[in-house]
Structure 1
Amino acid sequence: MEGGWPTGGRLLLCLAVSLLLQGKGDTFTINCSGFDQLGVDPAAFQAAFDRKTFRPVINYSNPTQVNISFTLSAILEVDAQLQLLTSFLWINLIWDNPFISWNPEECVGIQKLTVSAENLWIPDIFILEAMDVDRAPSGLSAYVNSEGRIRYDRPVRVTSICNLDIFYFPFDQQNCTFTFTSFLYTVDNMLLGMNKEVWEIADTSRDILQTQGEWEFLGINKATPRLLVGNSVYDRIIFYVAIRRRPRLYVINLLVPSSFLVAIDALSFYLPAESGNRAPFKITLLLGYNVFLLMMNDLLPASGSPLISVYFALCLSLMVLSLLETIFITYMLNLATTKPPPIPPWLHSLLLHCTSPMKCCPTAPQKGNKDLGLTPAHLPGLKEPVEFVGKVPSPQEAELNGSPGSARGQQEDKAQQQHLVSLWVQFSHMMDTLLFRLYLLFMATFVITVIVLWNT
């Protein structure tokens, strides 16, 4: 028709008028006539798809309500050295688009459609602790119902910062956080909510959690503090995910062997100190314990100072102290049998006191000053003192060898020398018993303290 609008101009005019009219209304009702013959007509949604660049609201002063939930489906890795948690999440976002709605009765009963996420406005919700590029697959779709409610689910592998406290390793429990917030929209433009209760998220995660490895999922809590950056206030939701390490591997491979070695070291005190076998045995145990620590080093955290490292250090210290005690007792016995010095009066009184039948260390009854001594049957790893000095000759032998007076003097000197040796040997045995009991007391105190700390 001459002077009329071209066909393309009419279409543009109709599109502009429709956009203006729909902006004046409360909703944008999609005309879906003919869906039964042609399926879903993409042209019916094209006007709504053209608005994907802008936040879908009729009045821009109203914020968009975005409801968030997620499902923890796997705990892939916990890096104690880098303080990172790698997990797999299914993130669920729900919001309303007032420009997409239709009457199901006019649209052959269609209540819900799947629409490519590329054609929709997607809120820029991200995890604040994430330290890696978003690895969500591309080409995802969203569900859109007849009332314009959009549900967008996306799987994502998240590597996030987690402040790990490894002091109680391997009986530690960690509390990692996932903070969901918007990068662009403040509270004036976007508000965050939840479409599920926290216990529902925790139960769903516990039911579908795929990993049965080192870490055990405990539960989830939440907080909703707002974030103030300069003059801008951002809404956010913080989820606290509690996980606990399964300690069985470390108990079997670390604690049990270490405890066995320390127990054998304590039992080695029952080896006779005079035999000379105790010190080499303890040195062998000490070397074996160092080899054990080197082999098990890969199982320990590479950073921090966990309580188990203190436990190993104290076990090693106990073994070193027991070796030093053995060296000291061996030196005392060697000194007593070679060149025993005169015994001090206070030590003589102490031996008299400790060998009294009424004391806590009962021995055989005394027979004058010559029979002073400790019966070593009650001492760990001891036997009856051997005769360190030659046999004392009888009076008949002394008369044959020389004058009776000199023979009697030599006999008294040898008896006094033997008595002095016996006193020093008994003192060495008494010190061995005392140090062994102190060793047991310190070891029991240390083990009980570590167990109490781990239980807390």
Structure 2
Amino acid sequence: MSTTGRGSTFTINCSGFDHYGVDPSILNPVFERKAFRPVTDISVPTRVNISFTMSAILDVDEQLQLLSSFLWLEMVWDNPFISWNPAECKGIVKFSIAARNLWLPDIFIVESIDVDKTPKDLILYVSNEGRIKFNKPMKVSSVCNLDIFYFPFDQQNCTLTFRSFLYTVEYMVFGMEKEVWEITDVSREIVQAYGEWELLSMKKATPKMSVGTNLYDQIAFYVTIRRRPSLYIINLLVPSSFLVAIDALSFYLPAESENRAPFKITLLLGYNVFLLVMNDLLPTNGTPLISVYFAVCLSLMVISLLETVFITYLLHLATTQPPPMPRWLQALLLHYIRPRRCCPTVPQRENKDMGPAPTHLPDLKEPAELVGTVSGPREVGSNGCPESTGSQREREAQKQYLVELWVQFTLMMDTLLFRLYLLLLISSVITVIVLWNT
């Protein structure tokens, strides 16, 4: 075995090799030069081939804009001072050496904000041609521009840039030990085995970094990761959708029922409790689309409650003190219910204030049920005149007809507002789904 340096040659007997190991003393001349870059010509840059495996995505902190990952960094370079003939040295083609005994390239990740906590007592492999392979485990906390608007269906693009801290392009250049697709496939298989995130793709670029008059070589890897949304779909979207669906179905409770408003209030309180309990699952930085979705659902439930209050007020007004109905509203109402009405009730005299004769309206309770039992006209008036009895009957019939019109108007308003509510709900859901799919 021989080690050569510029201006000096060291000849070492292969008797230091045997099947039980290598005599450390035969490499002392190389160990003594570990402080210097291993080249025979100082004008020739050292080429360091880089590869890594992303074995885990530990955390994505949206508030601090950090990506925490675990990498196995592999660096390969040549040391021209080390070489031997395996045929003369017991057939040994490579052996391991403590990394502290040889020169190591000072490669770091530009985006990393944490101190390198790599263990110091690492091992590297040396081949008979002087090729050195060094595997280095790294826990990296790197700055990443995170966009959480599409949470939990978001994809993040982060960059890992490898560069030398001291050596410019005159002294160190970078290459690839493996192709990017190989790095991606191996990393994807490992990362997909567990965790919240999955690795989608990697791309490579080799931009030069200029710092003042110095130019540094570097390799940038653009990593695309995607969140697994199943946890958030089950715990956030499904319960929220169920509550909103139940709120929409509550419109089928009778409008005159006293249970609709309390039921909607209970749903609204339950939805607020749900948001408070699940708040820890939402990102704390920015405004994701899912928060907008929850706000829209909460607003729809409030609108639904206000609609119920309005309909209840109209029914109460119609069945207690119904005001005179404008002629245009009465004509519009009769126009829409005319195709469904049956034969007219007992004919009445034409009245300018009341308009057409009262009709029997379908799907409407009898006025006696809404207003209460109306006292029947007495056989004889207080003055004993039959005309007085007829006038009393006519007034009661007119009031009953007015109640029917107002109740029918209230029910039509309830149906109209329910359809508007459904239209607003469906359009909101479709909008959110389209935005998530983009």
How far off is 1:162 after superposition? Answer: 2.1
Alignment partner of 2:69 out of 84, 87, 99: 87
How far off is 1:225 after superposition? Answer: 1.4
How far off is 1:255 after superposition? Answer: 0.9
How far off is 1:195 after superposition? Answer: 0.8
Give CA deviations for 1:370-397 in whole Å, capped at 9, x if unaligned: 22464236xxxxx555352653635x71
Rounded to whole Å, the distance in 1 between the matches of 2:141 and 2:124 is: 25
**Counterpart in the other structure of 2:337:** 355
1:74·1:211 contact (CA, 8 Å) conserved in 2? Answer: no
Rounded to whole Å, the distance in 1 between the matches of 2:383 and 2:273 is: 62
Alignment partner of 1:371 out of 352, 358, 362: 358
**Counterpart in the other structure of 2:161:** 179
**Counterpart in the other structure of 1:393:** 376
**Counterpart in the other structure of 1:245:** 227
Give CA deviations for 1:229-255 in whole Å, capped at 9, x if unaligned: 222221111112222211111111111
Secondary structure of the structure 2 residue equivalent to 1:212? coil
Secondary structure of the structure 1 residue equivalent to 2:380? helix
2:110·2:161 contact (CA, 8 Å) conserved in 1? Answer: yes
Alignment partner of 1:107 out of 78, 89, 106: 89
Rounded to whole Å, the distance in 2 between the matches of 1:188 and 1:398 is: 122
Residues 229 and 276 from structure 1, CA distance in 2 versus in 1: closer, same or farther, beyond 3 angstroms?
A: same
2:158·2:222 contact (CA, 8 Å) conserved in 1? Answer: yes
**Counterpart in the other structure of 1:195:** 177
**Counterpart in the other structure of 1:6:** none
**Counterpart in the other structure of 1:3:** none
2:342·2:359 contact (CA, 8 Å) conserved in 1? Answer: no
Secondary structure of the structure 2 residue equivalent to 1:77? strand
Residues 364 and 245 from structure 1, CA distance in 2 versus in 1: closer, same or farther, beyond 3 angstroms?
A: farther
Alignment of 1:9-408 (within 5 A): 22-24=5-7, 30-36=11-17, 40-209=22-191, 212-357=194-339, 362-364=340-342, 369-372=356-359, 374-376=361-363, 383=365, 385=367, 386-388=369-371, 390-391=373-374, 393=376, 397-398=379-380, 402-408=384-390
Rounded to whole Å, the distance in 1 between the matches of 2:230 and 2:181 is: 28
Residues 198 and 247 from structure 1, CA distance in 2 versus in 1: closer, same or farther, beyond 3 angstroms?
A: same
Rounded to whole Å, the distance in 1 between the matches of 2:370 and 2:52 is: 83
Report the AA paired with residue 32 of structure 1.
Answer: N
2:17·2:23 contact (CA, 8 Å) conserved in 1? Answer: no
1:32·1:106 contact (CA, 8 Å) conserved in 2? Answer: no
Rounded to whole Å, the distance in 2 between the matches of 1:98 and 1:132 is: 34
Give CA deviations for 1:83-104 in whole Å, capped at 9, x if unaligned: 2222211100011111222222
Name whichever of 425-434 and 167-176 sits farther off: 167-176
Report the AA paired with residue 176 of structure 1.
Answer: C
Secondary structure of the structure 1 residue equivalent to 2:133? strand
1:373·1:423 contact (CA, 8 Å) conserved in 2? Answer: no
Secondary structure of the structure 2 residue equivalent to 1:86? strand
For structure 2, the 5+ residue unaligned runs are 348-355
Give CA deviations for 1:61-106 in whole Å, capped at 9, x if unaligned: 2111110000111222222222222221110001111122222233
Rounded to whole Å, the distance in 2 between the matches of 1:398 and 1:454 is: 75
**Counterpart in the other structure of 2:351:** none
How far off is 1:39 after superposition? Answer: 5.1
Secondary structure of the structure 1 residue equivalent to 2:137? strand
Residues 192 and 109 from structure 1, CA distance in 2 versus in 1: closer, same or farther, beyond 3 angstroms?
A: same
Rounded to whole Å, the distance in 2 between the matches of 1:318 and 1:221 is: 44
How far off is 1:356 after superposition? Answer: 2.5
Residues 144 and 429 from structure 1, CA distance in 2 versus in 1: closer, same or farther, beyond 3 angstroms?
A: same
2:168·2:216 contact (CA, 8 Å) conserved in 1? Answer: yes
Rounded to whole Å, the distance in 2 between the matches of 1:336 and 1:69 is: 80
Alignment partner of 1:411 out of 376, 386, 393: 393
Name whichever of 259-268 and 362-371 sits farther off: 362-371
Rounded to whole Å, the distance in 2 between the matches of 1:29 and 1:334 is: 108
Rounded to whole Å, the distance in 2 between the matches of 1:204 and 1:116 is: 27
Rounded to whole Å, the distance in 1 between the matches of 2:392 and 2:366 is: 25
Rounded to whole Å, the distance in 2 between the matches of 1:238 and 1:164 is: 18
Residues 30 and 90 from structure 1, CA distance in 2 versus in 1: closer, same or farther, beyond 3 angstroms?
A: farther
Residues 273 and 301 from structure 1, CA distance in 2 versus in 1: closer, same or farther, beyond 3 angstroms?
A: same
Secondary structure of the structure 2 residue equivalent to 1:65? strand
Rounded to whole Å, the distance in 1 between the matches of 2:324 and 2:318 is: 10
**Counterpart in the other structure of 2:436:** 454
Secondary structure of the structure 2 residue equivalent to 1:243? strand
Report the AA paired with residue 104 of structure 2.
Answer: I
How far off is 1:400 after superposition? Answer: 7.4
TM-score scaled to structure 1, two decimals?
A: 0.88
Secondary structure of the structure 1 residue equivalent to 2:379? helix
Give CA deviations for 1:256-290 in whole Å, capped at 9, x if unaligned: 11111111101111111112211111001000111
C-alpha RMSD of the superposition: 2.3
TM-score scaled to structure 2, two decimals?
A: 0.91
For structure 1, the 5+ residue unaligned runs are 1-17, 378-382
Name whichever of 181-190 and 402-411 sits farther off: 402-411
